[in-house]
């Protein structure tokens, strides 16, 4: 009550107040404006603005912490499947080898990415690797196509390579990944796409903070048979003795189809594991950044609040002095 009376009296007697001393006092007690929140030349900012900003940052921090916990839970579930799936395609690598630099006319680059963001740079890394492979294999007498798994790779490749995109598959991870689901997908790709070599680009999981862009090559049965007969890198397969040579030509397409489904299954799991690890790391960094921002905003809020209190006290003292004078 007394403070309101003094303020009212001070407003009624402006001619008795000396503005110069008050301005001098304000210039000495007002803190330096914060570079992030206060424009140059402003005296102070509203405490309500800072409180709203702090509330927003706290909400964001809660969300990032929750997303980190969800990613950690999903990572634990997928990591065991990923490690077990590595044993499926390793025998095929020993049998057929890996020929990434083989020269064929029809190349199909299968880019595996995620459907959701907030997972670091795994999607951009896969897209850059796919573009580099596509550019390396391009020539006037060759045909290069894309098969895209994931919404993020689709959004990036459709900008400048729309005419080369053959198939787009999204929401693959909507349900828990299993071999049956991926084998049906692989069978559809083999039936609808003509190819000499399938080059699968994915991110191989190393740790929560590390993944390696990887490419696996699957040759068509005709190219694989020609390569084996020519004594190339597939000569190990030709070294196996079978009762009937015709049986070898019959079993080779089945082996290639099974190899493709196994490699696809491992690639999808590896990329999903890398996605969750990258998201967990990104959300952890976001939570730390939000905490640092909260500390800066708290300091700004305290300074602003102290400045407003000091300003009110100065006005009250000045008004009282004017009344006494």
Return the structure tokens found at 204.
């191989």
Q: Which residues face 109 on adjacent strands?
A: 146, 199
The three-point CA angle 200-68-212 to 5° equals 25
> What average pLDDT does the segment 259-280 reach?
94
Higher-scoring residue by pLDDT: 36, 180: 180
pLDDT tens, residue by residue, 111-146: 999 999 989 889 999 999 999 999 988 888 889 999
The predicted structure's pLDDT at residue 229: 66
The predicted structure's pLDDT at residue 321: 87
DSSP code string of 260-299: HHHHHHHHHHHHHHHHHHHHHHHHHHHHHHHHHHHHHHHH
Point out the least confidently predicted range of 32-41, 163-172, 301-310. 32-41
Residue spans of the domains in the chain: they are: 62-238+245-284
Is the pLDDT reported for residue 184 higher than 80? Answer: yes
Indicate if the alpha-carbon torsion angle 100, 103, 104, 110 is positive or negative: positive
Fold of 62-238+245-284: Pyruvate Kinase; Chain: A, domain 1 (3.40.1380)
Point out the least confidently predicted range of 76-90, 118-132, 205-219, 228-242. 228-242
Is the pLDDT reported for residue 8 higher than 80? Answer: no
Tell me the C-alpha distance between 111 and 153, whole Å.
7
Torsion of CA 17, 19, 24, 28, to 10 degrees: 80
**pLDDT grade for 319, boundaries at 50, 70 and 90:** confident
Q: What is the pTM of this model?
A: 0.77
Which among 188, 196, 118 is positioned nearest to 149, based on CA atoms?
188
């Amino acid at each position: 009550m007394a403070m309101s009376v003094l303020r009212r009296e001070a407003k009624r007697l402006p001619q008795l107040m000396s503005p110069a001393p008050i301005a001098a006092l304000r210039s000495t007690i007002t803190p330096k404006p914060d570079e992030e929140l206060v424009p140059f030349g402003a005296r102070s900012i509203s405490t309500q603005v800072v409180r709203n900003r702090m509330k927003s940052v706290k909400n964001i921090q809660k969300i990032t912490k929750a997303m980190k916990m969800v990613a950690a839970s999903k990572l634990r579930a997928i990591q065991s499947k990923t490690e077990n799936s590595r044993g499926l395609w390793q025998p095929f690598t020993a049998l057929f080898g890996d020929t990434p630099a083989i020269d064929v006319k029809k190349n199909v680059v299968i880019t595996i990415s995620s459907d959701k963001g907030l997972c670091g740079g795994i999607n951009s890394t896969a897209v850059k690797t796919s573009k580099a492979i596509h550019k390396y294999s391009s020539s006037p007498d060759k045909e290069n196509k894309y098969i895209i798994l994931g919404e993020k790779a689709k959004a990036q490749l459709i900008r400048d390579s729309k005419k080369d995109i053959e198939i787009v598959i999204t929401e693959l991870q909507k349900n828990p990944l299993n071999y049956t689901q991926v084998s049906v997908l692989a069978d559809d790709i083999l039936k609808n796409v003509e190819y000499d070599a399938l080059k699968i680009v994915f991110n191989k999981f190393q740790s929560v903070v590390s993944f390696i862009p990887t490419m696996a090559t699957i040759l068509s049965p005709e190219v694989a048979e020609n390569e084996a007969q020519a004594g190339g890198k597939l000569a190990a397969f030709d070294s196996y003795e079978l009762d009937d040579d015709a049986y070898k030509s019959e079993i080779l397409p089945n082996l290639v189809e099974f190899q493709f489904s196994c490699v696809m299954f491992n690639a999808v799991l590896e990329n999903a594991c890398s996605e969750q690890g990258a998201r967990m790391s990104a959300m952890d960094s976001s939570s730390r950044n939000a905490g640092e921002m909260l500390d800066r905003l708290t300091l700004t809020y305290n300074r602003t609040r102290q400045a407003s209190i000091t300003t009110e006290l100065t006005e009250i003292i000045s008004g009282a002095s004017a009344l006494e004078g």
